């Protein structure tokens, strides 16, 4: 097993990750290396599955999108979370053709944003926090007042 996969597997059984599951924040679905599938819960009871590419973990942060487990494809843009400015910026289907969330801890989105470390230091990928860092950022957005609803 490669070091990045081994590191991710260790992270998935860490107290930090399991605590998030116990508190109903997210749920591990499956790992098909290098993709991790985790469902994150929103404040309206909806659940959104993330497909996270974790190659290079933890030195490189993951990159991911919303995923439809039933169809095995990216979630239709019309079913992505909607809301105010923060939600619209973070979850914008037009960014990277919907293949990366527009958040500072997403490795694809971080590229080219040299101002982000100064503007959003708490959101920049931190290898020591592990996969829960990415999940916490998404969970916080889905729990915020800025999150309006998810189209059915």
E strand or H helix that includes residue 31: strand 26-32
Task: Write down the catalytic residue from 105, 123, 137, 142.
Answer: 105
CB 86 within 8 A of CB 78: no
| 105 labelled catalytic | yes
Torsion-angle region of residue 145: left (phi > 0), alpha (psi -120 to 50) or beta? alpha
* 80 closest CA partner among 72, 90, 71: 90
What b-and-e string marks burial along 32-53, b requiring 16 or more CB atoms within 10 Å of the CB?
eebbbbbbbbbeeebebbbbbb
Structure tokens that stand for 76 in this block: 């239709």
Give the span between the Cα atoms of 84 and 68, in whole angstroms: 23
* Residues labelled catalytic: 105
């Amino acid at each position: 097993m490669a070091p990045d996969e081994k590191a991710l597997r260790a992270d998935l059984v860490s107290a930090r990750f399991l605590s998030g599951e116990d508190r109903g924040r997210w749920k591990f679905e499956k790992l098909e290396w290098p993709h991790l599938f985790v469902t994150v819960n929103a404040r309206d009871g909806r659940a959104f599955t993330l497909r996270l590419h974790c190659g290079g973990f933890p030195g490189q942060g993951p990159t991911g999108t919303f995923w439809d487990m039933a169809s095995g494809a990216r979630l239709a843009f019309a079913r992505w979370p909607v809301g105010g400015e923060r939600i619209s910026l973070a979850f914008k289907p037009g960014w990277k053709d919907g293949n990366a969330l527009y958040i500072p801890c997403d490795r694809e989105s971080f590229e080219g944003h040299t101002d982000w470390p100064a503007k959003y230091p708490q959101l920049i990928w931190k290898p020591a926090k592990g996969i829960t860092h990415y999940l916490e950022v998404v969970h916080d957005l889905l729990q915020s007042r800025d999150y309006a609803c998810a189209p059915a």
